[in-house]
Structure 1
Amino acid sequence: MAVFLLGVGAACCLGLGFVLQQRAAARAPLSDFLTFRLLLDLIHMPDWLLGLGLQVAGQVLGAVALTYGEVSLVEPLTATNLLFAMALSRWLTRQPLGWVGWTGVALLALGVTAFIVAGRPHGGGTPAGALRHWLVVGIVAGLALLVTVISRHLQPSAQAALLALAAGLLYGLQDGLTRVCGQFVRDDGVAGLLTHWQPYAIVVIGLSGILLVQSAFEMAPLRMSLPSLTAAQPLAGIACGVGFLGDQLRLSAGALAWEAAGLAAIVVGVILLGRHPAMPPGVTPERSVGATRVI
């Protein structure tokens, strides 16, 4: 129950934080796209700072949840952040959910429930060796890099979706490495943690993920970026949990079918909610490449 509450609390903070960050990033100059100048501009915007604070709080709650629960359990819970983003967006836009919105809510909730009940994620497996650990990390990070490179040649809406997808992959990887760091702290204490590479990788991944997310928020409305971000993070996190953390899922034919159906329902629900008219439209005034910041 504690892990469940921590996971839902993390989702609430993340969803609210993403909406506030996107409202601010939509006002940043396009010349800052995919550069750290973007972050320097955004820190002058109070709503972005509030959104960042909520995101950090969500990540802290998620890290605590990962200390006591498996990645394969926590990640589907944090995917419900879109429900909280939708609630805030609906309040801001006064837009009713309608059948599309309620269908998205139902699919996301039922998908998370189906995956957890059918898969019964639990630890106890043998963590992977160094080779497999590096292989999984390399594949996820490599996919994020590839998606980012491809996005540079696309239209803004597709670019935002792919940048958010890359950020989601990195955040899922970050969650997996956070779980590893928690194990190090339990075994060797905080001082022992500093002798491993994972905490330093988490810092680099976190900064890269923030830059990608804010660039995606800057380029297009939230409905173009949040679905891919929300869908990619749990998939990458589950891959890391099973790939190198020793997380185990039920593997009977019936369980696998329900797990696949649950993940599919999560993805479809995320897409339906992310593209709902209640999501903020993003850019209000037109911005040229040389535009100045609007506060």
Structure 2
Amino acid sequence: MLLGLTTASAATVCFGFGAVFQARGARSAPRADRVRAGLLAALVRSWQFILGTLLDIAGFALSIVALRTLPLFLAQAVTNSSLAVTAVAAVWLLGARLRRGDLAGILAVVAGLTLLALGSGQEGRDHADPSFHWALLATTAVMVLATVVLVRRQGDAAAAGLGLLAGVGFGVTSLAVRVLDASGPVSVLTDPAAYALAVGGLGGYLAYALALQRGTVTAATAAGTVTETFGPALVGVLALGDAARPGFEWCALTGFAVAVGGTFVLSRFGELEGESAELSARHRDAGAEPSVRPGSPDGSAMRR
């Protein structure tokens, strides 16, 4: 468990600082009404944006180790608490100001993760029946279809719905990492979980970017955080045998709820990550008229 906690904590730091560096790099790029090659070149030339991207990649690699060695309810709670790191880093690097609610959220995350670590037992199985692997892939297909339908709507309700779908995609990615048969190249290529991992990750990223174009960052990030954390945790307990330490179930449950609640409070800091996501979405939709995201003074927006 020590290895898993160490890698999960390191991944959290990478994700938290990566969001801030990506935000700084993207903000330094020249603004344009339409996405041009010059904007992409400016991002590539920004060492801050590159560093943020590399930190995201490192965080994902570290999170794989955590997902394979920790109960999902612990791994997800730790890595999704990166918004607490983002909040602290934003104060240091972006001059952001923490409100009382932000401070309460950070303290809740720290206290909740401490209780959760104390109450967690050994991880369950790292394998599942073939039907489970196919179910993951089917879930991503439903998620993508629902995104196509919901993308026609606007407002915070649509943003929350798309954020929820993004959380489903990212949650499926976590489950796929846990059960993926990585015994060899052939096993990976023939495992439906490998394709669920890819579709869930890319589809979740797209759904989150679209959510940011339709409503506030808080609506999109909060919905995604809750879904991405609770979904895999519940599946891990019910289907993969994850469990708390005997007699410490109350400790693990309380810690999980407090940590997720703290992350929910800090969801406004998803704006730093959100700005990168919307840029990516605009790159894909080059030539389309830009939309102004509510809640952003200058209409800029950039996302994990």
C-alpha deviation, 1:162, in angstroms: 3.4
1:129 is aligned to 2:129: yes
The gaps in structure 2 that reach 5 residues or longer are 276-281, 292-299
In structure 2, distance between residues paired with 1:61 and 1:158: 34
Distance 1:89 1:221, change over 3 A: farther
Determine if contact 2:10/2:59 at 8 Å carries over to the other structure. Answer: yes
In structure 2, distance between residues paired with 1:164 and 1:2: 31
Which residue pairs with 1:273 in the alignment? 266
In structure 1, distance between residues paired with 2:226 and 2:30: 26
1:51 is aligned to 2:52: yes
Distance 1:202 1:275, change over 3 A: closer
In structure 2, distance between residues paired with 1:51 and 1:115: 29
Mapping 1:11-22, distance limit 5 Å: 11-21=12-22
Distance 1:28 1:14, change over 3 A: farther
Q: Decide which moves more: 170-179 or 135-144.
A: 135-144
Mapping 1:174-189, distance limit 5 Å: 174-181=173-180, 184-185=181-182, 188-189=183-184
Which amino acid letter does the alignment assign opposite residue 263 of structure 1? F
Q: Give SS of 1:45's match.
A: helix
Which amino acid letter does the alignment assign opposite residue 190 of structure 1? P
Which amino acid letter does the alignment assign opposite residue 168 of structure 1? G
For residues 173-197 of structure 1, the C-alpha deviation after alignment (integer angstroms, 9 at most, x for no partner) is 111111222xx22xx3334322322
For residues 225-249 of structure 1, the C-alpha deviation after alignment (integer angstroms, 9 at most, x for no partner) is 33333333222322342354x2321
Q: Give SS of 2:11's match.
A: helix
Which amino acid letter does the alignment assign opposite residue 254 of structure 2? A
Which residue pairs with 2:243 in the alignment? 249
Higher-RCO chain (CA-CA 8 Å, sequence separation at least 6) = 1
Distance 1:193 1:131, change over 3 A: closer
Distance 1:64 1:267, change over 3 A: closer
Q: Give SS of 2:154's match.
A: coil
How many equivalent pairs are there?
Answer: 276
Which amino acid letter does the alignment assign opposite residue 131 of structure 1? S
Which amino acid letter does the alignment assign opposite residue 11 of structure 1? T
Mapping 1:283-294, distance limit 5 Å: 290-291=289-290
Distance 1:116 1:196, change over 3 A: same
Among the aligned pairs, what percent are the same residue?
Answer: 25
Which amino acid letter does the alignment assign opposite residue 269 of structure 1? G
In structure 1, distance between residues paired with 2:186 and 2:161: 38
In structure 2, distance between residues paired with 1:217 and 1:19: 17
In structure 2, distance between residues paired with 1:28 and 1:213: 22
In structure 2, distance between residues paired with 1:105 and 1:243: 30
Determine if contact 2:16/2:83 at 8 Å carries over to the other structure. Answer: yes
In structure 2, distance between residues paired with 1:241 and 1:30: 45
The gaps in structure 1 that reach 5 residues or longer are none
RMSD over aligned Cα atoms: 4.2
Which amino acid letter does the alignment assign opposite residue 230 of structure 1? T
Mapping 1:229-240, distance limit 5 Å: 229-240=224-235
